[in-house]
Amino acid sequence: MKNIRPCFWSILQALALLPTMALKDSQMTTKRFSEEPEFERPIGNHTFFLGREAVLGCAVTNLAKHKVGWLRAEDQTVLTMHDRAVLGERYSVSLDAPRTWQLRIRPLRAEDRGCYMCQINTQPNMLMQSGCIDVYVFGKKFCVPPRSASC
């Protein structure tokens, strides 16, 4: 009996410590999940050839449970949600590992010129950034609206 008692006490002490340890653990978990997503770099403005493929990349860190969507800026039409294209065959989305969500438009049409928004469904305010596409048609450059001085 004498030998069991110290062991018994250390078990009791361990039990007393458990809630504290659990609390610490949940605080760490909360902290990890409360890190908000961020854009890693701007999408930028890019020029692509008519009839070819246009690719815009949206690099996101700490996405966690959030989802990335691509929208056409002009009319806020949703083009892709997470890993699915939701508007027609010309649009697709691919994840360039580890964390760049690429909007692909193919074949590119002249009317595709304009700006596109990458959106993250954070609450209460969504995060978004945009980048624009110019289209080269037979050596002539169509400019994103409105026509800029370089066109």
Ligand X SMILES: *[C@@H]1O[C@H](CO)[C@@H](O)[C@H](O)[C@H]1NC(C)=O
Residue 43 or 93 having the CB closest to ligand X: 43
Paired sense of beta strands 68-72 and 46-49, if any: unpaired
Which H/E stretch holds residue 32? helix 4-33
Contact call for residue 58 and ligand X (CB under 6 A)? no
Dihedral angle of Cα 103, 86, 49, 151, to the nearest 10 degrees: -90
* Total residues interacting with ligand X, rule: CB under 6 A: 5
Residue 69 or 131 having the CB closest to ligand X: 131
Contact call for residue 45 and ligand X (CB under 6 A)? yes
| d(C-alpha 66, C-alpha 78), whole Å | 16
CB of 140 to ligand X, least distance (A): 17
Contact call for residue 144 and ligand X (CB under 6 A)? yes
Contact call for residue 60 and ligand X (CB under 6 A)? no
Contact call for residue 132 and ligand X (CB under 6 A)? yes
| d(C-alpha 139, C-alpha 151), whole Å | 12
CB contact at 8 A, 137 and 109:
no
Contact call for residue 46 and ligand X (CB under 6 A)? no
CB of 115 to ligand X, least distance (A): 6
Whether omega for the bond prior to residue 146 falls within 30 degrees of 0, making it cis, is: yes
Binding residues for ligand X, rule: CB under 6 A, are: 44-45, 115, 132, 144
